[in-house]
Structure formats: C-alpha cells, structure tokens
Chains A and B, each alone.
Chain A
Amino acid sequence: MIATQNLTFAYATDKQFAFPDFSCADRETMLILGKSGKGKTTFLHLMALLLKPTGGKIQINNQEISQLSVSSAADFRAKNVGIIYQKPHFVHALSVIDNLLLSNYLAGKNQAKDKAQHLAESLGFAEHLSKKTTQLSQGEQQRVSIARALMNNPSVILADEPTSSLDDDNCMKVIDLLKKQTQEIGASLVVVTHDQRLKDVVEKRIAL
C-alpha cells in the first residue's frame, strides 16, 4: 500500500506544488488525473523518492519514507517500487532479457531468469527476449518496461503516462496487463496521466 499526507514540493519559490492526500491499498489501482504543468510527474517522483518533499508524509507498507537518506531511499526504491516511465527507456546496449535482469542486479537481488521468462510470456514478448530493445515496436517496448517494473515484486507500481503514446487498442491492452500483473503480485498500482481514456477502466481516481 501507499499513502501520502499534505505533500508539498517547490522547484523555486514561485513554483510550488501542494498535492492532495490519497491512499491506495494492495491490489488497488489509483488514477491521478491532471493536465500538463499540474505537477503529475513531480508527484510521481516524490512517491518514487526521486525527489525529496519540502513537507508532508509518504508511507509505503506503513513505513514512513519521506525522510530517508539518499542511499537508503535508493535501496528502498529498488526493492519496493517499480516505475514505468512515459517513454520506454532501456540500457541501449543490452538485450531485452538483460534489461529485465538488470533490475534484479541493481537491487541486489538474485537474477530471476524464470521470472523474466514468465513475465515475457504473460506480456506477450517472449520471442523477443534476446533482441535489442530498439528492435521492438513502441507497444512491445512499453510491455517490456512493465515487466521490468515487476521484476523485483515491488509493493507499489508507479506508472507515468504509460498509455499516452499508444493507440486505443494498445492503450486498453497495456492498462489491463498492468492491473492484472499488479494484482498477481499483490501490489498497489498508481497511474499518473492526462489520458481521459483510462477514466472508465479505473475505479479510484483523484484530480490534480
């Protein structure tokens, strides 16, 4: 689960953000809708501990994490948070399977080839495992980045505009897969987006 209270952040004195409180239990999906410039990505980065809030609290699995030091934040993030970015980015020189195993390696966990294989099969890119990521289509790449976020069995999956660059078909496929996979590992799913298509498929949502 993940929850925030009174979260604030400032890039500069004239660019301050205050975010609404929310909480998202395990196996739940939370949609955070907002237009550009409303601080969607900032909110997500705060939850992912990529930014340090100027005020407020964040709990993941009932652990207060907003005051963690840089290195323990990195460790906590690697083990408990899976992040899916707007555009799928990978380590260019590595193959698809190696990009998946990389998240095990960097989190200091055992490299689970079976898990990677299993995820690839359920997300439908098993035949591309040994290819370079650039050889895959945009939709396939997005599915690989979902698999990568799931590799360490995190408690929270954070997705930043995971569907905005996809067509309607792929959009629905990706969100379905995301929900299904997070439920399978019992994680909370938080999707930050301006994509109005997702309004109808997610039950809980807040607006920025």
Chain B
Amino acid sequence: MNLLKISTSNLKDKPLTSFLSILLMALGIAIISLLLLAGKQIEEKFTRNVAGIDMVIGAKGSPLQLILSSIYQIDAPTGNIPMEEATRLTRSPLVKSVIPLSMGDNYQGYRIVGTNPKYLEHFQAEFEQGKVFENAMEIVAGAKVAKNLGLKVGDSFASQHGYDQEGHAHDAKKFKVVGILKNTNSVLDQMMVTPLESVWAVHDEEHHEEEAGKGANALKLLEEDNNAGANMPVDEGKEITSMLVKFRNPAMGMMMARSINLNSTLQTATPAIEINRLFALMGFGIDALKLIALVIIIVSGLSVFVSLYNSLKERKYEMALMLSMGASRTRLFFLLLLEGLIISVLGFVIGIILSRLGLWIMSENIEQNFHYDFNVLSLLKEEFWLFLGALFIGLLAASIPSLGIYNINISKTLADE
C-alpha cells in the first residue's frame, strides 16, 4: 500500500477515461516525435548526400528536379545534355573536379548510373567484395541493392529502360557485377554504378551501333585527368544526364554558374539553395502538423483535468475519509498529481513507441518505392524536451482540480453522507 498503488488503482478503476487520456497524450507525442524523427533523418540524408558538391549542370528545367535526380536519385532527370558542351563549360581553373552522370536504366527498380570511379571516391565507398569497374558493361552494386537482390560478384543481368521495373529490357547487352560496396549510409547504397560507356553501349545497341569496344577509352582519359576537369574526354555526340561539379572556391563558382545559365542551353543548380527551398516548402506542412499534435496534447491535458475534476467530486467522501484516517492534505494532493503524472509518462512512452512504429512502416514503404531508408531507433534530444512538456501538461492539468483537496471540510463531508 502506497500512494503509487492508490493512484494506479484509481486509474484502473476508470479504465475508459484513463485510456482516453493516455491515448490522446500518446497520439500527440507520437505525431510530434514522428515529425522530429522523419525531419531529422531526411535532413541528415539530404545533407550527407549533398556534401562536397557545389553545383550540378544539366538540361534546362526545374533546378530542384535536377538536384533531386542527380544527387538524390529520386526524381526523373531533366533530360540529356551533350557531354562535349558540359566538358567545355567546366574547363576552368575554378573547377576542382567534375563527375559526369548518365542515367536512364534500372534493374529491378534500382537505378543504374553511368559515371566514373571518382563518383565512388566522392562517397568514400569501400568494397565489400570485388573491385571497381574497368570496362564497359562491368557494374558495381551498392550495399542495399546487393543485399535486397542477392547479387554477388560474377552475376550478370540485363537492365530495363527507365526508372521502374516495367521498362523495356535491354536483353542484348548484359551487365556483369564486378564489385559490391560496403554500406555508406548514402544514396550510393541504393544504386548501381557502371562506366558511362555502358550506358552508351546499351542504348547505342538499340541503334545497331557497335560502341562497346571503345569502352575503356573514356576511363583511361579520366584517369589521366589529374588536372581536374581540364582534360575531360570529348566524345563527339555523346550525351550525359548531368555533371556534378566541385569548385576550388565556391564563391567564385557562383559567377561561373551565372554565366552558364545566361550563355548556354544548359542550366546549373546549387544543391544547398535547392534543398533549402525544399525544406522551406515542407516546413509549412510540418509546422501545421506540429500545431495539430500540440492541440491533441493540450486536449489530453483537458481530458486529465475533466476526469480528475469529476472524480474528485465523486471521491470527496473518500478524500475526507483518508484525511480522517491521518492523511495530510498535501499527501492527497500528491496522490492526485501522481495520477496526472502516470498518464503523462505512460502517454509519452506509448507515443514514442508509436512514433518508432510509424517511422518503421514509413521507412519500409519508402524503401520499397524510392529505395530510401530510415534509421529507426535513435532517441532524439528534442524528445527529452517533449517529455518535460508532457509532464508539465499532465501535472498542470492534475494540479488545478487537485487543489480542491485543500477546501474539503472533513467533518461536514463525513457527516453529510
């Protein structure tokens, strides 16, 4: 027998009322915590993938789309650009390095991106198995892809055109897996990387041209490319999707970006700017949801308030009885406060579990559709504040009706009933 036992018994005695209060608290906490978690993870993913890339050059269109497709691999590309022009434009001492990307195919929904080994270096990728591609039609698979599709070194497969599994299969040319990457916690985990020549070969095949043999050329040239961007390979008429650019001095780079946008058929996009724009757009929705969650938590506080207020009226005699049995008013005040506290703590714990469950379901869903994954289990610093907030609301809601304890006239209450 102690205060905790009395208050839990009181809560159990009114299961529906307690359930409602706890549920409301849990829902509010779950929504806020889910928003915090998802926001944090998205932001983390977005910033990790963008690190080190100052500018993207691609076909004219939406700059946000260009960033999403080239850096995050989640939107369709804006179109193709001539490799020659992109190379010429980036031939400048301001440019530290360039990475060409060519997209257009997938295997089982995972994007196949033509590029060069510098792309792997950019992510500081390490090999779980095998080695980097050297020739056309050799391919390196990201950790998640390899795991989900069960790929290993030596496997071969035909890619499909487009970005989903329903695309037309390029049966004539088969890719051969030469390497499997370790987890990098970046977009690289969800994609497959091959030399640019493979993408050209697969698609030239459609035009009955034999180009695959030339595969190693571009690579060789790239390897000599120590002067960073100055000696990009120039393949007449070859097209790529976009080019990732690193500047020596990003501030000066902006001038170059402006001149490309004005004077060429290409466009440039700055990842940092576009991502900020995206977050600002999402921010409205997130703020609105947070407000709704806050309202739910306050309603939960109201529900605690009303149920305690009503039960105190019903339990007035009980309280007078306990006072006559030697309980002090302060002790009974804490007894009632404890009921609010238990609801807050239970609501918080259930809310946190719900949010993790929600994130896990979301993450499964997103991984299936976008090949993007979330890390589910981390506890956030903000959730500690959320906990204090929940306690505060529970205690506040409980304390107002509980103050009624100090107004009970013991003798009168005991005599009246």
Contact of B315 with A by CB under 8 A:
yes
Find the residue from B5, B12, B321 having the highest chain A CB count within 10 A: B321
Q: Which residues of A contact B318 (CB under 8 A)?
A: 89-92
Contact of A107 with B by CB under 8 A:
yes
Q: Which residues of B contact A50 (CB under 8 A)?
A: 324, 410-411, 414
Given contacts A50-B410, A92-B315, A93-B10, contact A71 B328 (CB under 8 A): yes
Contact of A17 with B by CB under 8 A:
no
Contact of A25 with B by CB under 8 A:
no
Closest to A105 in B: B1
Q: Which residues of A contact B6 (CB under 8 A)?
A: 91, 93-94, 102
A106 and B327 within 8 A (CB): yes
Contact of A194 with B by CB under 8 A:
no
Find the residue from B10, B327, B415 having the highest chain A CB count within 10 A: B415
Q: Which listed segment binds B: A53-61, A74-82, A164-172, A197-205?
A: A74-82
* A152 CB, nearest partner CB in chain B, Å: 9
* A161 CB, nearest partner CB in chain B, Å: 11
A106 and B325 within 8 A (CB): yes
| B residues 278-316 touching A (CB-CB < 8 Å) | 315
Of the candidates A83, A87, A90, the one whose C-beta lies within 8 Å of that of B417 is A87
Contact of B13 with A by CB under 8 A:
yes
B417 and A98 within 8 A (CB): no
* A38 CB, nearest partner CB in chain B, Å: 14
A45 and B326 within 8 A (CB): no
Find the residue from A75, A83, A92, A108 having the highest chain B CB count within 10 A: A92
B326 and A78 within 8 A (CB): yes
B12 and A103 within 8 A (CB): no
* A130 CB, nearest partner CB in chain B, Å: 13
Closest to A48 in B: B324
* B326 CB, nearest partner CB in chain A, Å: 3
* B29 CB, nearest partner CB in chain A, Å: 26
26 pairs, A vs B, C-beta closer than 8 Å: A41-B415, A45-B411, A45-B415, A50-B324, A71-B328, A74-B323, A74-B326, A77-B324, A78-B325, A78-B326, A79-B326, A85-B414, A87-B417, A91-B6, A91-B9, A91-B321, A93-B9, A93-B10, A93-B13, A94-B6, A98-B1, A101-B1, A102-B6, A102-B325, A106-B322, A107-B326
